[in-house]
Amino acid sequence: MFDIHSHIIYHIDGGSHDLEESLELIRQDVEQGAHAIIATPHYYVQYPTDPARIRAKLATIEEANASALDVRLYAGNEVLWFDSMTERLQSGEILTLADSHYTLIEFYPEESYQTILRAIRNVRNAGYRPIIAHAERFKAIQEHGLAEVRDLGAYVQLSTEPLSHKGLSGLFDRETKFIQKALRNQEADFLGTDMHRVDRRPPVLRDAIDWIERNLDRDYADAVLQGNAEAILRDEEIY
């Protein structure tokens, strides 16, 4: 699997504490089936992250992991939407995914549907390809579905962890049902663990891979697990 959403870079955001934890998160991800990972530290308008610092720390992680695990690592940001986001993308202050035109965007959980639609239009009009991070978490998208945001040109990333919480009630139950429906309807494009730390939100993906391989059309399963993410590296539109 190609994991496009992670917080494996230490001392940047609320993710990994140190280099050793970064390496342990990567090891766990690889053991469960990841072959490539995009590091996406948070970018908030009030707390911007420095692209040069992200790249330098990722290079340190790659050097430390050089002979240990067979995995490809790439840089990016997960951006909490704000009105001048496109200007900061264009100036290079925000990292796109693997230096492509794809950008990973999140919203406040209770963000209005109209704001989400406006964000997609703005990012598209600026020449970038928005990916909605962990789309299953947003109330407005749960209520309105994914058809309209996809028609506007947004791509959809779903989280792997809820597919490992089958049979539970509450938050994960709702998210699991949303994710399963989106995948069965072929309305998702990418997967991500959104891993942060070993003791809090570690990578959980093996059950998700198994569920996808059992329940989905083979070509679509291959696309959502790997192929679509490879298109990010080529900076190509998926559809």
pLDDT of residue 183: 98
pLDDT of residue 172: 66
pLDDT of residue 167: 45
Does the pLDDT of residue 224 top 80, yes or no?
yes
Does the pLDDT of residue 187 top 50, yes or no?
yes
DSSP 3-state helix, strand, coil percentages of the chain (rounded to 5)? 45, 15, 40
Q: What is the spatial distance between Cα 147 and Cα 209, in angstroms, rounded to a whole number?
A: 24
Going from N- to C-terminal start, the domains of the chain cover 2-234
Q: Provide the mean pLDDT of the chain.
A: 95
Predicted confidence band of residue 69 (pLDDT cuts 50, 70, 90) = confident
Other C-beta atoms closer than 10 Å to the C-beta of 206 total 16
pLDDT of residue 67: 76
| CATH number belonging to the domain at 2-234, selected among 3.40.50.150, 3.90.1750.10, 3.90.79.10, 3.20.20.140 | 3.20.20.140
Buried b (16+ CB within 10 A) or exposed e, 166-196: eeeeeebeebbebbbebbeeebbbbbbbbbb
Q: What is the spatial distance between Cα 30 and Cα 127, in angstroms, rounded to a whole number?
A: 33
pTM here? Answer: 0.95
pLDDT, one tens digit per residue, over 83-130 is: 999 999 999 999 999 999 999 999 999 999 999 999 999 999 999 999
pLDDT of residue 168: 47
3-state secondary structure of 61: helix
Long-range contacts of 227-234 (CB under 8 A, 24+ apart): 228/155, 228/189, 228/190, 229/2, 229/4, 229/36, 229/38, 229/190, 230/2, 232/4, 232/38, 232/97, 232/98, 232/100, 232/102, 233/74, 233/98, 233/100
Predicted confidence band of residue 66 (pLDDT cuts 50, 70, 90) = confident
Q: What is the spatial distance between Cα 46 and Cα 94, in angstroms, rounded to a whole number?
A: 13
| Nearest in space to 110 (alpha carbons), one of 152, 83, 141, 81 | 141
Q: At what angle do helices 171-184 and 206-215 cross, to 10 degrees?
A: 40
Q: What is the spatial distance between Cα 141 and Cα 148, in angstroms, rounded to a whole number?
A: 10
pLDDT of residue 143: 96
Residue percentage of the chain with pLDDT more than 70: 97
Other C-beta atoms closer than 10 Å to the C-beta of 20 total 12
Q: What is the mean pLDDT of residues 21-25?
A: 97
Amino acid letter for position 178: F
| Nearest in space to 171 (alpha carbons), one of 163, 162, 180 | 162
